[in-house]
């Protein structure tokens, strides 16, 4: 079942983390680079890919990441995930684009500063500070 078209403030989202620089295991924290947006060549905007996870059990959330984020032949392995309320995004002055690509629960964080990397990093830090860290149950 797909979530509604609008992201509610109390809705939970997750960001799958594939690089060690995106989290600090010893501190149990998600780090700002985990939210770093990428410039989408099709939309010409900065975007951070996330998944809406309300109503899913832990195994279903991980399965989502393994299927749609991880790409082992290309060396892209999920190591952890960061989770927070959607309000952490809007509190940072950003917005949601519920686009359902590549999966109906996918949503991009948008509204990042176009020209100022420091402003993007400040917003990423604000969101990361509100996220909880969960390590991949497969270990490693």
pLDDT tens per residue, range 47-74: 999 999 999 999 999 999 999 999 999 9
The confidence score (pLDDT) of residue 4 equals 66
Cβ contact 131:89 at 8 Å: no
Model pTM above 0.75? yes
C-alpha to C-alpha distance for 123 and 112, rounded to whole angstroms: 8
Cβ contact 7:47 at 8 Å: no
Q: Which of 20-24, 85-89, 103-107 shows the lowest mean pLDDT across its residues? A: 103-107
Q: What is the mean pLDDT of the chain?
A: 93
Where do the structural domains in the chain lie, given as residue ranges?
12-135
What is the secondary structure of 33-84 as a DSSP string?
GGG--EEETTTTEEEEEEEE-TT--HHHHHHHHHHHT-BGGGTB---EEEEE
The confidence score (pLDDT) of residue 140 equals 60
CA angle centred on 100, ends 40 and 86, rounded to 5°: 85
- Write out pLDDT tens, residues 101-115: 888 899 999 999 998
């Amino acid at each position: 079942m797909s979530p509604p078209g609008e992201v509610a403030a109390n809705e939970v989202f997750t960001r799958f983390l594939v690089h060690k620089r995106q989290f600090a295991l010893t501190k149990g924290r998600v780090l700002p680079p985990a939210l770093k947006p990428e410039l989408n060549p099709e939309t010409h905007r900065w975007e951070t890919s996330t998944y809406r996870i309300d109503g899913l059990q832990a195994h279903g959330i991980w399965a989502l990441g393994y299927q749609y984020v991880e790409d082992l032949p290309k060396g892209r392995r999920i190591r952890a995930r960061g989770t927070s309320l959607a309000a952490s995004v809007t509190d940072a002055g950003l917005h949601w684009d519920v686009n359902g690509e590549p999966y109906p629960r996918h949503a991009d964080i948008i509204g990042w500063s176009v020209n100022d990397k420091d402003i993007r990093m400040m917003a990423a830090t604000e969101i990361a500070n509100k996220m909880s860290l969960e390590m991949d149950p497969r270990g490693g």
